[in-house]
Each structure stands twice: as C-alpha cells, then as structure tokens.
Structure 1
Amino acid sequence: MMKRTLKTMVLLSMMIAFTGNLALAGSERDPLKPRVPKAERGTAKKMKSPFGDLDEAPAEIVAEGKKIFEGKGTCVNCHGKDGDGQGPAGKVLNPGPRDFTNCKFHKRRKDGELMWVVMNGSPGTGMVSMIPATISEEEGWKVLAYERSFCKK
C-alpha cells in the first residue's frame, strides 16, 4: 500500500511539473481536439478493443473498469469520481484532464485513439503513459469502457 501511494505521489508530481502555468489549472482546453499526434492517428484509430465496441461493452467489463479507474489505475485522482476532470490532482493541472461526461468528445474519438493516450500519455498535458507501469493493456480497455459510460449517465 505504501509503495503504491508513493508511486501515485511521484506520478502526480510529474504531472504537475509538466503543466507549467497553474493560473488556468483545472480547465480542460480544446475538449474536441485529438491528442494523438497526426502521424500516429490513423494507426491509433484502427486499434480495436478485445471487448468489441466500448460504447456497448458488457456491464461486467464496465464494472471492472470502474474498479480499476477508482483503484490501481489512479484515474480518479485527475479525472474525478464523476469523470468530469475535477479530481484532486486534476484541479491543479493545466490544461485540466479530459471531462469524460462530454458526449461530444466521445462521439469524435475512436476507441483506439483513447487507448493510444492511455498507452503513450498525452503530449502537452499531465497525462502520462499508464501501460505497462500502472495497468495492463486489457485493464486499459476496461477503463475505457467505463469512461465511455460517463456519457450515458
């Protein structure tokens, strides 16, 4: 437990260090702008979840994703329990984390683009690579199924 807490603190410190000016902290910038670099976007869009279309993932996959999001994935620290980007660490990041309650965002992004960000981080933001340091690729897909569910609430 102590090791995981230390790991989380290090990750949060890195995120804050990458964000620069905190005056505009907590506000998501350009919510519809893709975060996958243009040169890699085509490949990312073709990535497919082992669970099929994440908008229609089985309830048990979404539930497992929630458990990872709120637990070992540490997503909740930035994206918040409600997925709105207002977690405790998210409030100080500049730009703020993605707001997964934004349905327009979900309609514009393919599942593979979201996975690319989980795997590689998001350039110019506090989002760092989560795979394989924190979660497995399969767990990443489950988290994304849960993130997609925020638009349905």
Structure 2
Amino acid sequence: MKKFLMVCSLLTAVAFAGSGVAFAGPEKDPMKPRVPKSDRGTAKKMKSPFGKLEDAPADIVAEGKKIFEGKGTCVNCHGKDGDGQGPAGKVLNPGPRDFTNCKFHKRRKDGELFWIVKNGSPGTGMVSMIPATITEEDGWKVLAYERSFCKK
C-alpha cells in the first residue's frame, strides 16, 4: 500500500510538473538536519558497508547511479544532476535536497542520510524508500552516488 501511495503521489506531481503549474519552493534550510532529534545520535553512528561514502569505489558509485536513475526513482524529484530539479521535485514545497550543495554534504553524516532514505523526511515529500522500493544495500549505494555530486 505504501508503494502504491508513493507511486500515486509521484504520478500526480509529474502531471502537475508537465502542466506548467508552479508550486515548488526552494529547498528550505539546507543545513538543518531532517532526522528527528530523538533519532539523530543513533543515525550519526550508522556506518556504510562500503566505508566513507565520499570515498566509495567507482563501481559502487556507478551502481548507485543506476539505482538513483532507475528503480530508486530518486531522479524524479532530485533530478538527473542531483540539484533537486526533477520533474516531480519542481512541484514539491519545500523542494527536494540539492545534492550539489557541498556545504550540505560536509554537515551531514552518512548515517543521517541513510536514516532519511530508510524512514523518509518529516515535513517534506521524501517518503521511506527501504524496503518498499530498494534494499538497504541499494540505499547505501545511492548515497555513495549522491555524495559524488559534490565532486563534480
């Protein structure tokens, strides 16, 4: 049911994006953590099975890109360039994270990013992706790819 609702929301957002209706707002408070304070300490301690994500091997980053642009559906909101300007992202308020923002990457721990992929982001259009859409391993690979946007 959760996956069905996510798909319906995404299709509605894409339909609005294609209609020229502009609802999107910019990403609000990009430096503000989105993991609830009660979970933040635990989230910050979570570690990727691939080591530090910004140092992930090229093959892991490439697999993350395939998931980001494919079954993970991340590209629909975050855009092909990771800038939060995907077709569905353009109608979200607040807008999706801009993964090209290097200040954001420096401020957030890998575990915090993983928590969001697994649990969603309260107050935003970001829904839980694990296990409805991707596996935990897939989630870490996507995050390795997202970290690579700051290196481009």
TM-score with structure 2 setting the length: 0.88
CA deviations 1:67-106 (Å, max 9, x no partner) are 0000000000000000000000000000000000000000
| Match in the other structure for 2:24 | 25
Distance across 1 between alignment mates of 2:53 and 2:13: 27
Distance across 1 between alignment mates of 2:108 and 2:60: 20
What secondary structure, in the 3-state scheme, does the structure 1 residue paired with 2:104 have?
helix
1:113 partner letter: E
Contact 1:120–1:128 under 8 Å retained in 2: yes
1:111 partner letter: D
What secondary structure, in the 3-state scheme, does the structure 2 residue paired with 1:44 have?
helix
Contact 2:105–2:147 under 8 Å retained in 1: yes
**CA-based RMSD:** 2.0
Contact 2:24–2:95 under 8 Å retained in 1: yes
Q: How far does residue 10 in structure 1 lie from its aligned partner after superposition?
A: 1.6
Does structure 1 residue 42 correspond to structure 2 residue 14? no
**Partner of residue 7 from structure 2, selected from 5, 9, 34:** 9
| Match in the other structure for 1:94 | 93
Structure 1 gaps, min length 5: 1-5, 17-21
Contact 2:13–2:91 under 8 Å retained in 1: no
Does structure 1 residue 71 correspond to structure 2 residue 70? yes
Structure 2 gaps, min length 5: 15-20
- Percent pairwise identity: 82
Does structure 1 residue 54 correspond to structure 2 residue 49? no
Q: How far does residue 25 in structure 1 lie from its aligned partner after superposition?
A: 1.1
Structure 1 residues 11 and 142: CA distance shift in structure 2, 3 A:
farther
**Equivalent pairs, count:** 143
Contact 1:8–1:74 under 8 Å retained in 2: no
Contact 2:78–2:86 under 8 Å retained in 1: yes
What are the equivalent positions in structure 2 for 1:123-142 lying under 5 Å apart? 123-142=122-141
Contact 2:6–2:127 under 8 Å retained in 1: no
Q: How far does residue 24 in structure 1 lie from its aligned partner after superposition?
A: 5.5
TM-score with structure 1 setting the length: 0.88
Runs of 4+ in 1 over 3 A off after TM superposition: 6-9, 13-16
